[in-house]
Amino acid sequence: MLRLTAAFAAAALLATPALAADCGGSHAVDRCMVGTWQMTKNGMQEWMRKHVRKFSVTSVHATNNTITLHADGTFATGASTATVEGHGSSGMHGSATMSGQSSGTWSAADGKFNLCARPGNIDTTLTTSGGGNTTTSHAQTALPALSTQSYACAGDAFTTTREMRGDTITSIYSKVK
């Protein structure tokens, strides 16, 4: 009987997909969040419009702003590009374009959503009213290795929320597939 139980246990382990490395102290995956999601409300954009002084954002355009959360605890974002245009209090006009992609591991349980990003690159181009362009490529250190936010997920939508400098940043995602 003991051999039979051990054989069933071994078979169950083989049939269970290996989970990714720990992210935020957890391997838990909320099945509601598994899939590909499109960001439909960027809370950080709204926060910047309210709080960045001496520069007024006049437009933001983002493409391929998606994230795929896999059942094995890994994730990958789309190859996103975001362009921000605006003007400063001194009359300067400018635009910035940032392109990048991220991957790593994730976990979600008890209302906490963790992303653990692997190192990567983000390319940035800054153009000012004088016509000068500056292009930089830097390691993805702009993103923390671990990001933890509150979340809620139901059906084809999930929401993330976090506090930053006395204000709440809320982003909304809709399921693509």
3-state secondary structure 117-163: ECCCEEEEEEEECCCCEEEEEEEHHHCCCEEEEEEEEECCEEEEEEE
- Report pLDDT digits (tens) over 106-127: 999 999 999 998 877 667 766 6
pTM across the whole model: 0.73
Stretches where the chain sits below pLDDT 50 are 1-17, 139-142
Query: Looking at residue 129, what is its pLDDT?
Result: 62
